[in-house]
Structure 1
């Protein structure tokens, strides 16, 4: 759902892997039009897995379900890399850890960010790493702030009569 929400966003989205994007986080990372990995970061891809119990019939169903659950990830990796389906499946079979350089070579990443340009503050780093930062969201945030100010002002009417005596609002 997160991957699809990011993909459907109308703006240009840059996803950033600044540490590890493992398992489903690697699928979410694929949602960015630009996919930036820090030099020391890693992706890890694998097939869906679960714990199972039951009889042979139930276990066969569980295996079939896992194949079906894995399929969307394969499709997403295939669309966002220069690898064949067979190459992706082999990487997933091996629960592969992928360096930033390998990710760039395979097409999972679109660029590598050198980590020597340190951030000045955690706040600045947070802002720079937002997945969907754009002007439309800023405008929407300002509208929400204005609505909250109006609501607060409306709720700050002075107390009168018995309401003032009991310190409650109308």
Structure 2
């Protein structure tokens, strides 16, 4: 579903769960294949996933920015959890489709065991949530304590709300891309992603 961009511009997709559908290695390979571009259009439709994999993707994209590439993120459908973190940490500009949804929350982890193991898990989650909160606050130009309250409450935004809150910069017309692009013939609709998100809370998100 490539578009005809002007010379010096290209696109990259983060479509699907991280890392089940999108891995840091796949992003690294795609960036290497693209070579140097002035503007990278990063198209996102993802329920989120592993925060460690997201952190690696953030590093890769910010390395590209450091070499002079401007990253414009297009939220084509869903930007939940770790996907929203990637956007906040790497975007120079965020454009959200009018039917899209964004969700931010604290990191989560399914863990069992003795009390000490649970305490270690909680300490790790606090560190991950702190990193996420910092990047989201910078993108929104908000205080970290304000964003902390939003993440603790698990906050969902429509496109209008994402712009109002400062997470996105502007709205573009509704895109059919999210419905048309079906890797592995899996349902990538926003509602289906939301259902899978609630059904699969396991692992740090």
- Assess same fold via TM > 0.5: yes
Aligned partners of 1:7, 1:67: CA distance in 2, in Å? 23
Give the deviation of 1:3 after TM superposition: 1.8
More strand by share: 2
| Structure 1 ranges of 4+ moved more than 2 A | none
CA RMSD after TM alignment: 1.9
How does the TM-score come out when normalised to structure 2?
0.54
Q: Which runs of 5+ in 2 are unaligned?
A: 1-55, 182-205
Give the deviation of 1:109 after TM superposition: 0.6
Aligned partners of 2:63, 2:164: CA distance in 1, in Å? 26
How does the TM-score come out when normalised to structure 1?
0.65
Correspondence for 1:74 among 114, 133, 156: 133
> Does residue 19 of the first structure (1) align with residue 19 of the second (2)?
no
Give the deviation of 1:65 after TM superposition: 1.1
Q: Which runs of 5+ in 1 are unaligned?
A: 124-170
Q: How many residues align?
A: 120
More helix by share: 1
Give the deviation of 1:103 after TM superposition: 1.2
> Does residue 34 of the first structure (1) align with residue 90 of the second (2)?
no
Aligned partners of 2:116, 2:82: CA distance in 1, in Å? 28
> Does residue 91 of the first structure (1) align with residue 146 of the second (2)?
no
The match for 1:109 is 168
Aligned partners of 1:105, 1:83: CA distance in 2, in Å? 12
Could you tell me whether the CA contact under 8 Å between 1:45 and 1:96 is conserved in 2?
yes
